[in-house]
Amino acid sequence: MKKILFLLLVTATTSCIMLQEKGIAFKITNNSGSAITGVKIATSENLDSITFEHIAKRDSREGFLSMKNNKTDGSYTLAFKDRDGNVKGVSTGYYTNGNSLDSYIRFEIQKDTTLVKFGEFP
In a structure prediction context, what are the per-residue pLDDT tens digits for the chain, which is 122 residues long?
666 655 566 665 554 444 568 999 999 999 999 999 999 999 999 999 999 999 999 999 999 999 999 999 999 999 999 999 999 999 999 999 999 999 999 999 999 999 999 998 77
Q: Residue 17's pLDDT is what? A: 47
Does residue 48 form part of some domain? yes
Does residue 13 form part of some domain? no
Does residue 100 form part of some domain? yes
Dist. CA 55–CA 44, nearest whole Å: 23
| Domain of residue 91, CATH code | 2.60.40.2890
Q: Residue 14's pLDDT is what? A: 53
Does residue 35 form part of some domain? yes
How many structural domains does the chain have? 1
Name every residue whose Cβ is closer than 8 Å to that of residue 50 and which is 6 or more positions away in sequence: 40, 41, 42, 63, 65
Dist. CA 92–CA 81, nearest whole Å: 18
Domain range for 62 is 22-119
DSSP state of 39: E
Does residue 2 form part of some domain? no
Q: Residue 12's pLDDT is what? A: 58
